[in-house]
Chains A and B, each alone.
Chain A
Amino acid sequence: MPHKIGFVDNSNGQLAHYNMLEVIHRFCAGYGSVGTPAFTGTGNGLIVGADALPLGVTETWTLTCTAEAPNAGTFSVVGSVSGVRADATVGVAYNNGLVAFTISDGSTDFELGDEFELPVTQGAAPSADAEWTVLRYNTVPANRELILRGKGYTGDEEIFVGFRTYQDASADYYNLVAAVFTGYVAGNTFDTQPGARLSGVPAHNNRIDYWLTLNPQRIALAMKVGTPVYESCYVGKCLPYGRPSQYPYPVVCSGMLNGTPATRFSDTTANHSIGYKGNSPRLGLRSNDNWQNVYCYPWGNAPITGTTQIRDTGGYYHPLPIELHDNVTNLWGALDGIYYISGFNNAVENTFVIEGVTHVVIQDAGRNGFTDYYALRLDN
């Protein structure tokens, strides 16, 4: 299931928005999860720092002591699917590209035949063939950076997106930036990557509840922060109304802010709103020529979002695709997995299922009018 619902906070001593970036990094890159190791034998060292790496699969790793040594020892490493891999040494960090761990040295040495069993589960993204390649993940600077490359549904595309943080403790804001690029240059800063388009997404230093979903061509995120308000972003391809030969790179960068201003989540002005409503710099569509601040149907349509508003049909809600146009002579496509939905008798975080796929209703920051909601598809 390439979506993840959860929360981050600062209980690990790290600001929550940094932890949010880490969640994005691990989930998009395809890291899996590690179960509780089982041990049989004499030694009392432990497996520590275990991690299921993006290339790994769901399997059980069997680590067997094959050579004893005082305060040391050697373990064979055999995956139930991946087979025999390089041996591990007690006290030395181990990484075979599929799984990583360290067998710590305990007060009692390991003996021949001592055995760990370490279950690992493949990440949701690679399970769905939707993982993104990490081009940069730099947690050293205050503005931490993550740049990813998606392969698209064809498997051989290059879709460049990124997230970074920006914050000011004295102004009490802790934000993310959603970004889309047209390429990647290792020597360039985040903001000077080719064709960079940036949009801020207010976050928080304390608890953030999140809904993160992806497919091979786009990543979408919704966060609940603060009072609360809801912050959303989308990076990657839309669903273009044209052939690849006509429109090879139909990418969208949508956040909550125009660029990266010093805006806190509590801002209630029109400058802090979902990009999905269109007609603002908060959502950019890359046409064949340049970035454009496009309109987003049905916002702007009078019967649906103006003089009248859509409501349910006998208790059923019918989400509408959000279609990107210039209001003059071009209709480019639709957002992928983002839908307009009525706020009539509706509430944020409601869920519904269409054709077996769960969608969650998200509101625009703190707004809750009839036209302030969208539905986020939780990809599977």
Chain B
Amino acid sequence: MAYYNGSAVDMAAVRSALVTACTSEGWSWNGSTEVLSKGTLFVRLQVVSGYLALLGRTSASSGDAPNAVRMGQLRNTPVTYPLAYHLFVFETEVFMVINYSVDYYQFCAFGLSSTAGLAGTGMWIAATLSHTDATHGVDISPVSGGAGGLNCVAPAPFWGAEAPSPSTASRNCWLHSDIDGQGWLLAQSLTTAPVGIKAAVPLIGLLPNSWNSEAVLLPIRVWKQRASSKISLTGELQHARYTRVDNYEPGQVISIGPDRWKIFPFYRRDTVNRNGGGVIDHSGTLGWAIRYEGP
């Protein structure tokens, strides 16, 4: 569909860029309710205390996700301006990546799951942060993420795989599958651990390959915990993939067959501590690729 980039002087300008790009690609914007919509997809976009908060909904005014997801200050690193943004708007998926303070990145994204069998709207939404402050920074690794719940965040879509602690609902990603009548839940309750990245173990940890030094692009799948120790696939992002950024520069465009992909670290690349960790200010070499249809 379309790729946009530019710079923004504050979070309101970030929101404005997002709204402008989306409305140019068929989305509708209601300025009074601050709801961006397309078909069954509804997301309320608000700038609150310097954060851009995105709240997924099943209608224009109801069916809210358990909490908003956000971009903004993470731990004690504020977002600085002007920042650069990259916007990728597809038919049913939108991705926005911001870049500030040279090598810091955050994202927000939302879209529609194409996985068959969902009872809900299939809307998914994700961003770097949950609705609470990540005062203890980042917790991410090739096998898990999001330990510490409220205070640590796995700044990647559908990566977090730990129960929130303290036990209060706080997630930076949701998908409205409504499987088992559980609406937006990824697990059996708000306070239990979702599957997250654990379903991709060990693949993301193998990369980049020793045999060709390249990092494969892995699908970003969303899972729903079910009763009796079962899980169901509820989503697979169409235009984004997990990868490792050891050998890719942030913003680099790579070609695989006819497709081009723009590579970003999830938060901040650290090739020394490449497997991330807990209570950190980087995301190792864990990153992602977004389908790129720009120049």
Contact = CB atoms under 8 A, between A and B. Distances in A.
A325 interface: yes
B230 A331 contact: no
Interface in B205-226: 206-207, 209-212, 214, 216, 223-226
A329 B209 contact: yes
A309 B231 contact: yes
B119 A314 contact: yes
A350 to B, nearest CB: 16
A246 B232 CA distance: 36
Interface string B90-118: 00000000000000000000000001111
A357 interface: no
A169 B119 CA distance: 56
B240 interface: no
Interface of A is mostly: loop
Interface string A81-118: 00000000000000000000000000000000000000
Interface stretch (A133-141, A182-190, A229-237, A296-304): A296-304
Contacts of A308: 195, 225, 229-231
A205 B27 CA distance: 64
B199 interface: yes
A331 B206 CA distance: 7
A325 B204 CA distance: 11
B111 to A, nearest CB: 17
Interface in A320-360: 323, 325-332, 344
B198 interface: yes
A355 to B, nearest CB: 12
B284 to A, nearest CB: 16
B201 A314 contact: no
Given A308-B229, A308-B230, A313 B195 contact: no
Given A288-B211, A325-B203, A329-B209, A310 B231 contact: yes
Contact of B117 (A298, A307, A313, A326): A313
Interface string B228-247: 01111110000000000000
Contact of A297 (B203, B209, B229): B203
A308 B119 CA distance: 22
B251 interface: no
A304 to B, nearest CB: 6
A246 B212 contact: yes
Contact of B233 (A288, A310, A329): A310
A58 B231 CA distance: 49
A332 B234 contact: no
A353 to B, nearest CB: 12
Contact of B118 (A287, A298, A314, A332): A314
Contacts of A304: 199, 231
Nearest to A302: B198
B243 to A, nearest CB: 11
A325 B206 contact: yes
A314 B223 contact: no
A303 B195 contact: yes
A301 B199 contact: yes
A288 B209 CA distance: 13
A329 B208 CA distance: 7
Contacts of A302: 198, 201
Nearest to A242: B212
A157 interface: no
Contacts of B116: 313-314, 316, 318
Interface string A244-283: 0011000000000000000000000000000000000000
Q: Give the interface size bracket for B toward A.
A: 20 to 34
B179 interface: yes
A241 to B, nearest CB: 5
Contact of B179 (A310, A313, A327, A344): A313
A327 B202 contact: yes
A328 B177 CA distance: 34
A313 B206 contact: no
Contacts of B206: 325-331
B203 A330 contact: no
Nearest to A332: B211
Contacts of B195: 303, 308
A313 B233 contact: yes
A292 to B, nearest CB: 11
Given A287-B211, A313-B116, A313-B118, A331 B203 contact: yes
Contacts of A288: 211
Interface string B165-207: 0000000000001010000000000000001001111110011
A331 B198 contact: no
Given A314-B179, A325-B203, A330 B233 contact: no
Contact of A323 (B117, B203, B233): B203
A331 B207 CA distance: 7
A315 B117 contact: yes
Contacts of B209: 241-242, 329-332
A310 B229 contact: no
Contacts of A168: none
A238 to B, nearest CB: 13
Contacts of A318: 115-116, 233
Contacts of A314: 116-119, 179, 232
28 contacts: A242-B214, A246-B211, A247-B211, A297-B202, A300-B202, A302-B198, A302-B201, A303-B223, A304-B199, A308-B195, A308-B231, A310-B231, A311-B226, A311-B230, A313-B115, A313-B118, A313-B233, A314-B118, A316-B115, A316-B116, A318-B115, A318-B233, A329-B210, A330-B206, A330-B210, A331-B203, A331-B206, A331-B209
Given A297-B203, A304-B231, A318-B233, 15 more contacts: A241-B209, A241-B216, A301-B201, A303-B198, A309-B231, A313-B115, A314-B119, A316-B117, A318-B115, A318-B116, A325-B202, A327-B206, A329-B210, A330-B206, A332-B209
Interface of B: 115-119, 177, 179, 195, 198-203, 206-207, 209-212, 214, 216, 223-226, 229-234
